[in-house]
Structure 1
Amino acid sequence: MYLTAFPNEFQQALPILQQIEAHGYEAYFVGGSVRDTLLGKAIADVDIATSAFPAEIKEIFPKTIDTGIKHGTVTVMQHGIGYEVTTFRTESGYQDFRRPDHVTFVRSLKQDLQRRDFTINALAVRADGLVIDEFDGLADLAAQTIRAVGNADERFHEDALRMMRAVRFASQLGFDITTDTYVSLLHNAELLQKIAVERIHTEFEKMMLSANWLIGWKLFVATGLIKNTPFFKDYLTGNYPKFVATQQPLMDEAAIWTLLGEGFSLTLAQQQQLLHSWKSANEVIADSQHTLAFSRLLQTNPQPGASQLYQVDATIIERLATIWPILQLDADFTQLAIHYQNLPIKNRHELAIDGQTLIQKLGLKPGPEIGQWLNQVEHAVVMGEVVNHNEALIEWIKQQTD
């Protein structure tokens, strides 16, 4: 088949393919960009594969960067945009289950496509729009199935992260995993322990933030992959939470870890341990901990007062509004959001006075006393005991000292 129209991203990169062809070599758009084009989805990155060797690419184009030349990748700069151009290659000897010990450059597109993970990612498009399909990827796209290229056991032994990619694609695309590939997932799940947690984390986050995240989660559990990831491999006894499908996707990474914290009834300390073991960013850890803490508060006090609402922010309320229905918990988050927005201030920076004001207006000396007064004023404003105006706050402090 031929593509009748190229997306803008392909149009912009098309001169690269044409130049390579003009020098007597083959060149194709490959991988996820082809898959997403055929599915009518937005393209993330444009990858180009070619029969030209890296040295030959560098001769064709005036401006290149040796991005990963050892593995055949050269970045070609075109109008300020970098495009990765990779030589057709074969790979062998995956002793660490993630990287090939040997890479051999070849001139055959089929040999190059044969090393890829899934048939829907093993498609190529020529400059004239011809779609090259050596492994029935078009049929699998039409059937909405995820199938390993060739022998699934071999593909997963080459790079065990491909197992996470399988459940991630099922989640993102809403596709089914074919029986042979699924069985291979079951047999090889333990290989995931060979993979760096940072790589697993990236795939897991993409899976959980997709529209069909529940599909991916169920596969992640059913295949045993979860038992081979940090924290869960030591913590779980096979008692998994029953999440309920909702129309609204999880809003961010902190929502993922809050959902798991509630789903597995983790303490705040256990959630923190989970987040550290998955090498989460400090900001994500803080957001997740604050959100889980407020979730626990709401379960004991569905109508928190001003001082309690002041400890959170609008994002935490919005985050829990997407999480609680999944857990079959109920709260009036619309009303909570209104109450939060009606707070006189949302943080100390909004106070009409600061330490310098106290020094100038009240003659206080720099030191701990300044912070103590600001704490008292902040609380009084939040509780509605005094309006947040400079003069009113100064007068309130004077009254407290009388």
Structure 2
Amino acid sequence: MGAHHAALSFAASLLLVAMAVCILISTRLTRRITSAERREAFRPRWYELLVAVGCIGLAFWNLQQPLTHGPLWFGITPDRLEIGLAAVLSYSSFHFYLIWRRRGSVAFWALSFSLLFWAVLMVFGQFKARFGGDLLGPVPQMLLGVSMVMVLFENERNAVQENALAFSKLDVDPMRLLSAGDLVPSMQSILERLVAPLPTSRAVICVSERWRAVLPSVQMGFSSQFAAKLDATGAGEYICELAYRRGGFASFRNLRDMNEPLPAFPGGRFEQFREALLAENIHNATAVSLQTREHNFGVILFPHAERRLFGDSNLRLLIGLALQIGLTLENYVVMHDAQRRTKEYQLLTQIGQAISSRLDQDEVLRSVQKELGQIFDTSNFYV
């Protein structure tokens, strides 16, 4: 019976150690991490492993040398493990306190206070002898749970606000006439931000053929030629049209044995799409359309395992974010067309000035070709 009680006590101590180490790890995970940083961020650091080993050693020490039952001061019984855990909780509390001072977040203040309160109770032995029981025992855990919920809610709210702001602009100079290649970093940033909270590290934004002269297709987690292959084979245009016609969302399961979904398209386009995805070892995928009321700009394609990548609520949120991105792309296209027309008017003015100010016909033609080169390729163009 004594051995059984000791084993249960040691197991409970290990759970407390695991709790404290997880809280310690969470102190460096308070900022938003990208999908590329996720694996490295959750890898334990050397000092965290050292803390875990030290606390386990204290738990084993308590097991080998039971605590003395005589009161030390005001009826408080010292506990080696609880003192060690209190030190870890105090450090975590101080870290969250600094975050509260920096961000002005009430949730992090509550989290800091609950951890400090728990650490104080651990140091003073939870007042067992003085109050005759664990009267205050569940209070810090309850406060910690409430404060964690507050932090999660605040982080979700901030993430939604940050995403809404980030997806509403491309961070490019609206006064410059950019090519599709110049827009790749901005589109890549949008894709990385969209994938960051998802349990996948692969995705591709495939732009519809109509808009490829203005908007680029980008990918992450695939081979370097995957997005170009989708565009060249027609597989990208197929999934863009399919998702658009199916209300903004299309899902594919077991592509190797899957029949062509409705509505069907002529020319074996589904076979081209299937071959392109199977070549990348993709058997299940979800596509969300980047559309507005008037235009279909493309899709975001997410490969995933056999299980569903999105729940119903997450899918509705993703469709809403895709609509926001579609509106941003539409605004950019409108600005791009306006800027192109402005450049054309300026070019016509400059051509007229060049013709009126020069008498040498060859020089005039060279000037015309140079000015036309600002809006399209004139390497094989002759006037």
Q: TM-score, normalised by structure 1?
A: 0.21
Which protein, 1 or 2, shows the higher relative CO under an 8 Å CA cutoff with sep ≥ 6?
A: 2
TM-score normalised per structure 2: 0.22
Where is the helix percentage greater, Structure 1 or Structure 2? 2
Larger radius of gyration: 2
